[in-house]
Structure 1
Amino acid sequence: MGTNTDQSFFPGNNWLYFSVYLFTFLVGLPLNLMALVIFVGKLRRRPVAVDVLLLNLTLSDLLLLLFLPFRMVEATNGMQWPLPFFLCPFSGFLFFTTIYLTSLFLAAVSVERFLSVAYPLWYKTRPRPGQAGLVSAACWLLAASHCSVVYVTELSSGSGHNVSTNGTCYLEFQEYQLAILLPVRLEMAVVLFGVPLLITSYCYSRLVWILSKGASHYRQRRVAGLVAATLLNFLVCFGPYNVSHVVGYIQGESPGWRGYVLLLSTLNSCIDPLVYYFSSSGFQAEFQRLLKRLAGVWSSGRREGSEELKVMREGKGNLRESSKVDNR
C-alpha cells in the first residue's frame, strides 16, 4: 500500500514555514488583541449583530495565533513532530478549523453589511445580537465538525505508525486514509469556501451598487476597503488552498504545492484586522484612540526613563564634585 507525501514540505523548506509563521504571529497577535479590546468595549456599551460576528472572528484568529508556536516548533525541527502525539491532531484540528471559520464569518459579516445599507431603518431598530450569537455558534459547529477529519485520519488504524516511525504530523497518508480525507476536503472546498464566497460576492456587489447611487465619498472609500480586504482573504489566502482540495480529489493524492498555499491561508489573521478597520467608522475611531493611548503610555515611559537617567547622571556628577572637595 503506497504512501502519499506532500513533497512541498521537504527538504529544506522548513525555514520558509517558520518565517511565515513567525511573521504572522508577530503581526497578527497585537492587532487582534487590540481588536478584541475594542469589540468587547463596543459590545458592553451597545451590542449589535455585526460586532458579535467580528468578535467571534477575532477569537478565531487569536486561537490560530496562539497555536502557531506548535507549528514553529515543528518547522524548526525539520517538519518532524517533536511534541507529544496527542498535540498533533489537536493542533491540526484547531489550525484548520480557525482557517475555515474566517470564510464563514466573513460571509456572515457581508450579509449584515448588506442589510444595514439595503434596509437601514429596519436594521437600526433590530440590533439582533442574540441571532448573531446563534449564527456564530453554527459557524463554529460547522467548521469544527468538518475539520474533525484530522482526528479521523490521524487516529485511524496504522496512522500511529506513521507518526512514531516517520516522525511527521498530518503530512503523510496511506491510501485508505486518502479515501477518507480527499472527499472531505472536496466538501470543505464547496461548503466552507465556495458557498461563503458566493454569498459574500453577491452581498458586496449589491452593497457597492447601492452606495454608488449617492453615498458620501468617505463611506464609499470605507466600503471599498472592506470589500478589498475581504476579497483578498477569499481569493489570495483561501482560494489557492481550496483549489488544491479539488485538484487532490481529481488526482487521488495531495498536490505537491499544497503546503505552499497553506501558508497563504495562515496569513489571513494579519488581513482580518483590515476587515475590522473598514467594517465601521466606530471601530476606526476606537482603534485610533487606542493607538494614541498606547503611544502616550510609550512616550510617558520614555520620558520617565530619560528623567531617571538624568537624575542618575546628576547624582554621579554631584558625587564626583563631593569627592573632589574631600580630596582637597
Structure 2
Amino acid sequence: MTANSSKLDDATISFLQNFEAGVAISVFYIFITAINLLGNGLSMWLLLFRTSPKTPSIIFMINLTLTDMALGAALPFQISYHLQGYQWNLGPNMCSFLTLVFYANMYCSILTMMAIGIDRYLGIVRPMLFRRIRKKKSITIISCLIMWGLVLSTLYPLMTTDLTFHVPQLNITTCFDVLKANMLPSVAAWAAFLFTMVFVLFLLPFCVTTFCYISVIRKLASDSKTSQKKRAIRLALIVLVVFTFCFAPNNFLLLIHSVLRLYYKKSVYTAYKLSLSFSCLNSCLDPFIYYFASKEFRQKLRAIINLHSLSSGDSMKMENKETLCSAQ
C-alpha cells in the first residue's frame, strides 16, 4: 500500500486490524520454515559434499538452495511481526534487509529455474551445438552473478528506502505493509519498477522456462527410455506448478494493486498479502526439482534412504534376536 501522509484509508486500517489473518499467515510461515530448513539443509549437504562433478545444473541448484535457506532464516522475523499485530520493533535497516531477502528469493528462484530449464534444453534438445558451453563452469558461475546483479539492481529502491511506517491511528510501526509514495520520484519511476519486476523478472522467465520444458518433453516423446521421459514430465510439471501457483498470483496481484492504488486510490492488498505468503511455498518444492533434474542428486538421496532402511532393518533383527534369546 502507498501513502502520502500518516493518515491511512479505512481499507488499510481494517487490514492492519485483522489479527486473525496475521495469525493464519504466521502459522503458514511456521510450516514453511520447518520444511524449508529441513529439506534445503539436506539438499545443500548433498549438493556440496556428496554430489560430483559440479555440473552446471548442480551449480544452479546450489544457488537456488542458498536463496531458499536465506528465506527460511528470514521468515521467523516475519512470524514475530505478524503475531505482534504488525508491530515492527527491529528498526528500518533490518526491515529493508529482510524485505530484500524476501523478494530476492522469489526472483532469484525464478531466474535460476529458468537457467536449469535452459541447461536441460541444451543437454537434451541441442547436445552437439552447446556441448562446449555446458562444460564450462565459469559460464555457469557468471550466469549466477548476472542473475543476482539483475535482481539486486531492480530491488535497489528497497535497499535505500525506509520501509517502516508509523500508523498513529493504531500506534504501530509497520514494515513494508505501507509504502511511502515518495519512495520513488515519480509515477513513471513506479511504473518502470513494477514493469521490471513483473515482466522482466517473472513473465519473460516463465515463457522461456515453459518453452524449454515443452521442447524437452517433445524431444523425449519418441525416446525408448520411458523412465527418463517420465522424470522430464514430472520435473516440467513441478516447475510449472511453482510458477503458476506460487509466483503468478503474487506478481499479477502486485501489478493490479499498484495500478489501482496509484491511479484509482483503490486496493486489493489483502489478496496480495496472502499471495505473497503463498509464494514462499516454492522454497519447499525446490528439493523435488533437484530430485528430478539431477541424476547425481537422485542417486545420493536414494543411497541415504537405503542406508537408513538397512540400519533400521538390522536394528529390528537384533531386537528380535535378543527377544528370542531372553525367551529361551
TM-score, reference length from structure 2: 0.83
Task: Measure how far apart 1:298 and its partner are.
Answer: 7.5
Partner letter of residue 150 of structure 1? L
Give the 3 Å change call, closer, same or farther, for CA 160–222 of structure 1 in structure 2: same
- Residue 216 of structure 2 is aligned with which of 194, 199, 207? 207
Match among 114, 121, 125 for residue 118 of structure 1: 125
Find the partner of 1:94 among 86, 97, 101: 101
**Given residue 211 of structure 1, which amino acid in structure 2 is its aligned partner?**
L
Mapped pair 1:174 → 2:180: yes
Corresponding residue of 1:266: 280
Structure 2 residue 243 is the aligned partner of structure 1 residue 234 = yes
Cα distance in 2 for residues equivalent to 1:6 and 1:269: 31
**What is the match of residue 322 of structure 1?**
none
1:129-173 deviation line (CA, Å, top 9, x unaligned) = 111100001111111222232234426xxx665699531111113
Identify the residue that residue 89 of structure 2 maps to in structure 1.
Answer: 82
Relative to structure 1, the CA distance from residue 8 to residue 302 in structure 2 (aligned partners, 3 Å threshold; closer, same or farther) is farther
Contact 2:154 2:193 (C-alpha < 8 Å) held by counterparts: yes
Distance 2:198 2:206 in 1: 10
TM-score between both structures, scaled by the size of structure 1: 0.83
Structure 1 89/46 Cα, relative in aligned 2: closer, same or farther at 3 Å? same
In structure 2, do the counterparts of structure 1 residues 7 and 120 end up closer, same or farther at CA, with 3 Å as the change threshold?
A: farther
Larger Rg: 1
Which position in structure 2 is the counterpart of 1:290? Answer: 304
Cα contact 2:167–2:173 (8 A) shared by 1: yes
Q: CA deviation at 1:185?
A: 2.6
CA distance in 1, matches of 2:16, 2:246: 18
Deviation at residue 50 of structure 1 after TM alignment? 1.1
With over 3 angstroms needed to count, the CA separation of the structure-2 counterparts of 1:16 and 1:297, relative to structure 1, is farther
Equivalent residue runs for 1:291-310 within 5 Å: 291-293=305-307
Contact preservation (8 Å) 2:58, 2:294: no
Confirm or deny that 1:136 pairs with 2:144.
yes
Measured on the aligned residues, the alpha-carbon RMSD in Å equals 2.9
CA distance in 1, matches of 2:181, 2:296: 52
2-side partners of 1:150 and 1:267: how far apart? 23
Deviation string 1:150-206 (CA, Å, 9 cap, x unpaired) is: 234426xxx665699531111113333474556413320011101100110111111
Deviation, structure 1 residue 110: 0.5
Conserved 8 A contact 2:157-2:183: no
Question: AA paired with 2:33?
Answer: F
Aligned counterparts of 2:14 and 2:99: Cα–Cα separation in 1: 18
Q: Secondary structure at the match of 1:73?
A: helix
Aligned equivalent of 1:319: none
> Structure 1 residues 145-154 or 208-217, which shifts more?
145-154
Work out the CA distance in 2 between the residues paired with 1:151 and 1:98.
15
Q: What amino acid is aligned across from residue 86 of structure 1 in structure 2? A: N
Residue equivalent to 2:49: 41
Q: CA deviation at 1:46?
A: 1.4
Query: What is the match of residue 244 of structure 1?
Result: 253
Alpha carbons 1:6, 1:259 under 8 Å: kept: no
Q: Give the distance between the partners of 2:190 and 2:13, measured in 1 at CA.
A: 14
Pick from 239, 251, 255: which aligns with 2:268?
Answer: 255
1:271-322 superposed Cα distances (whole Å, 9 cap, x missing partner)? 1111111102222111122234456678889999x9xxx9xxx9xxxxxxxx
Whole-Å Cα distance in 1 between the matches of residues 302 and 254 of structure 2?
Answer: 40
Structure 1 residues 17 and 295, CA gap change in structure 2 (3 angstroms): farther
- Listed one character per residue, the Cα deviations across residues 190-249 of structure 1 (whole Å, up to 9, x for unaligned) are 111011001101111111111112241101110011101100111100000010122123
- Looking at structure 2, the residues matched to 76 and 299 of structure 1 have their Cα atoms a distance apart, in angstroms, of 44
The whole-number CA distance in structure 2 between the counterparts of 1:227 and 1:212 is 13
Give the secondary structure class of the aligned counterpart of 2:154: helix
Cα distance change on mapping 1:174 and 1:23 into 2, 3 Å:
same
What displacement does 1:85 show? 3.3
CA distance in 2: counterparts of 1:104 and 1:71, whole angstroms: 24
Counterpart-to-counterpart distance in 2, 1:302 and 1:71: 44
